[in-house]
Structure 1
Amino acid sequence: MSGDTGPRRAWHLAEEDLRAYDRGELAPPLLWSADAHLAGCGECRERLAALADPAALDAGWARLDAELDVPRPGLLERLLLRFGVADHTARLLAATPVLRRSWLLAVTAVLVMTVAASEALRRADSPTLFLALASLLPLAGVALAYGPALDPTYEMAVVAPMHGFRLMLVRTVAVLAVGLGINGLATLALPGYGLGALAWLLPALALTATGLALTPRLGPVLAPALTGGGWVALLAVAESRGHGDAPLPPFTPAGQTAAAAVAALAIGLLFHARDRFDFAARTSGGPQGGVR
């Protein structure tokens, strides 16, 4: 063993290794050694910079900047991608306004208070206040899911590589899945009413389908507003003509049958008008803007 304790002789990457590194052709373990050496050797970094093609170097920096600027997907988007949803569809779904935490917390809080009020104002056959609100919330959620006046990601939705009708369906299904799920959990807090606590489901589907079927003619704001207003007016008239603790007509077997019929008719009309869904913004005319 040598007893020499003097300074080690400096070494640098061989010219052929440096050129191979620049071309991306240097293989391990020489590649790992070159990486470690370049991290601490300014002279070899200067030699490498002299070898690099300026155009390729600029292109590399541009790719790096683009990669750093790409928004990181959130939890919902990552889950959708894991389940095989296309990246552009996952981004549109994740950006849906009513799938944000603030909306979900607000809906949950409203339903909790409604359940509590329904128990406090307990009626013999049905929790009228809860059923009325639970039927309306899915329509409100779908109304907020698209349209230039309500969707902060509207411009991205416009250039999405999909037909406007498909975009509407994708977001509607996502909103309904979440909204109906929350409504279903709230329904479990009313076990004393039995299956009567589920009487909101068919009216909710009828209201949502009707609002969507009217959207091509009235726009994404006016259509759900008129649909929801009609529902409130119907309940007000039914309440004024009610008899004691009897359930309101929409929540009776006959009313449920009528709601199912309305939902089926609205879905048929919606499918018939599928080619009229164009989410490009209007440049002139029409106060609704966004669907024509």
Structure 2
Amino acid sequence: MTWHVSEEDLRAYARAELAAPLLWSADTHLAACARCRAVLAEVSEPLDAAWARLDAELDAPRPGLFEALLLRLGVADHTARLLAATPVLRRSWLASVVLLLMTTLGVVYTADSPTLFLALAPLLPLAGVALSYGPALDPTYEMAVVSPVHGFRLLMIRTVAVLTTALGLNGLATLALPDYGLRALAWLLPALALTATGLALTPRFGPVLAPALVGGGWAALIAVADAVADGGPLAPFTAAGQGAAAAVTALAAGLLYLARDRFDVFHRSAV
């Protein structure tokens, strides 16, 4: 026998990529040629390795709708998985936020004043970020601890996702208050200020106490402002109050950046 199947064709045969009529010739030849069968055994993927690869593909988690959408938008697969695993992005949380906003809007229309909505809306992003991070509230926290992800980066990824969702819902609720014009958007800067302050205090007080203190401080500020308003707009929603909120946001963002490495220490020691 002077003709043998080339190694390139044997590799294609092993991958089931060899087309007819070469496939038929290879089948016939291999049945009678021990040398080519030996070469085929060398170039073929070992059976155990093939089964292991098949098991890995079968056991790989299937991306959900949200994760698949992120992947289609060009988000890296590991970042998409972290975003999809953000515990606050659940239908129950979103439904409760929508219900709360609808109830608040109903009260606003009844009282003909946006004050309640303006006071409540900044707390929703703060609560969302608090619920998306930390050992007490995050069911995937232990997995995040052992993953090679910077604690600050993980926090920022989830914060952006939660802020986008919460601010989007608040924005939709704002559209239901067209009669109040730009006053209905006065919640935006306080929301950013509260969220940034809560994050900046997290390394010192933890992911539960820090937002609780910030939320309590906001509630106290609203109560004091309401007591001295004498029927006028509350101080946090005036031009001076909006400027103060912007300054607090910038200051808190700077402190958060300076303390970014402390999130790794907190991230590891909290377990």
TM-score band w.r.t. shorter chain: 0.7 to 0.9
Structure 1 residue 22: Cα displacement: 6.9
Correspondence for 1:39: none
Computed over aligned residues only, the root mean square deviation of the Cα atoms, in angstroms, reads 2.8
- The residue that corresponds to 1:129 in the other structure is 116
Which residue of the partner structure matches residue 149 of structure 1? 136
Change in 2 beyond 3 A, CA 1:57/1:138? same
The one of 59, 76, 94 equivalent to 2:84 is: 94
Deviations 1:96-116 (A, max 9, x none): 112222211211111111111
Matched letter for residue 23 of structure 1 = A
Would the aligned equivalents of 1:216 and 1:277 in 2 still touch at CA under 8 Å? yes
SS of the equivalent of 1:98 reads coil
Task: Output the CA distance in 1 between the equivalents of 2:143 and 2:15.
Answer: 37
Equivalent residue for 1:58, pick from 40, 45, 48: 48
Cα deviation 1:249-284 (Å, max 9, x = unaligned)? 1111111111111111111111111111115342xx
The partner residue of 2:18 within 5, 27, 31 is 27
Which of 98, 105, 115 pairs up with 1:108?
98
Once residues 58 and 21 of structure 2 are traced to their aligned partners in structure 1, the CA distance between those partners, rounded to angstroms, is 28
Contact 1:97 1:145 in 2 (8 A): yes
Select 2:161's aligned residue among 165, 174, 194: 174
Q: How far apart are the structure 1 equivalents of 2:108 and 2:99?
A: 14
SS of the equivalent of 1:85 reads coil
Q: Deviations over 1:123-146 (max 9, x none)?
A: 3xxx11101110110000111111
Consecutive unaligned residues in structure 1, runs of 5 or more: 1-15, 34-47, 283-288
SS of match in other structure, 2:132: coil
Change over 3 Å in CA distance of 1:31–1:163 after alignment to 2:
farther
- Paired letter, 1:72: R
Q: What fraction of aligned residue pairs are identical, expressed as a percent?
A: 70
- Normalising by structure 1, what TM-score? 0.78
| Structure 2 match to 1:70 | 60
- Partner in structure 1 of residue 29 of structure 2: none
In structure 1, the residue matched to 2:208 is 221
The one-letter amino acid of 1:71's match is P
TM-score computed with the length of structure 2 as normaliser: 0.84
Partner of 2:32: none
2:13–2:23 Cα contact (<8 Å) kept = no
1:118 aligns with 2:119: no
Specify the SS of the correspondent of 2:46. helix
Q: Secondary structure at the match of 1:97?
A: coil
Measure how far apart 1:240 and its partner are.
2.7
* Larger Rg, first or second structure (1 or 2): 1
Counterpart of 2:240, as a letter, is: A
Cross-structure match for 2:147 = 160
Contact 1:88–1:160 (CA<8 Å) still a contact in 2?
no
